[in-house]
Amino acid sequence: MPDLLVDYLTERRPALDYATLDNLSRSLARRFWADLEAHHPGIDSLHLPTQVAVQWKQRAQTKTVRRRRSDGTHDEVVSPRLDGSTLLIAVRALYLDLARWAGEELARWGPWVAPCPIGEADLNLKKHGQRVKARMDQRTRQRLPALPTVVRAAKELLGNKVLRVFSISQRRSSRNLGFLKTANRATPRHHDRSRR
C-alpha cells in the first residue's frame, strides 16, 4: 500500500505546488492509511468494509484532545475537526483518480480500484462553507470593538512617520546648503579677466 501512495503522489506531483503536495501526502499517508492500519491491523486493500469506512469517517471528522486537570488527572475531549472535509475530499480524489487512471493504464492502477467509501452526502460542502463563513464573521465581530483603537494608533504612527520624513528632508537640505556655503568660502575666487 505505501508503494501505491508513492506512485499516486508521483503522478499528481507535476500539477501541484510543494505545499499542496506535502499536505496531500500527510493527509493520505498519516491521517488516512496509517489511521486505518492502527485501528484495523492487517488491512491491505482500499476496498474498505462498510463498518471500517464508517468508523474511519467518524475519526476523520473529530479530534480527541487530552487536557490535564489541576489535580493531575487527564480528560479526553472529543471535538469536531475544522478541516475534516479537506481530508475526505483528498481521499475521495484518490479513489476517483485511481478509477479514472485504470481506464488508461489497467495493469498499473486496476488492481487498486475499489468503491469509494466517501459519497457526496459525506462531503456536504455547502454546510462546511457556511461553518467557515460563520467562524470568519465571529472573528470579525470579536475584533470590531477594537477597530477605533487600531485606526487611532495607525493614524498616530503615520503622523510620526510623516514628521520624521519631513525632519530628515529638512536636515538634508540644510546640510546641503551648509556644504555649499563652506565650499564657496574654501574655494578661492578667480576673476575672469576677459570680461573687463
List the pLDDT tens digit at each of the 196 positions of the chain.
778 999 999 999 999 999 999 999 999 999 899 999 999 888 888 999 899 999 988 888 888 888 888 888 888 888 888 777 888 889 999 999 999 999 999 998 989 999 998 887 777 667 767 777 888 888 888 888 888 898 999 999 999 998 888 888 888 776 655 555 554 555 555 555 555 4
Q: Residue 99 class from Cβ within 10 Å (0-12 exposed, 13-18 middle, 19+ buried)? A: middle
**Residue 111: other Cβ atoms inside 10 A:** 13
Phi-psi region of 62 (alpha: psi -120 to 50; beta: other; left: phi over 0): beta
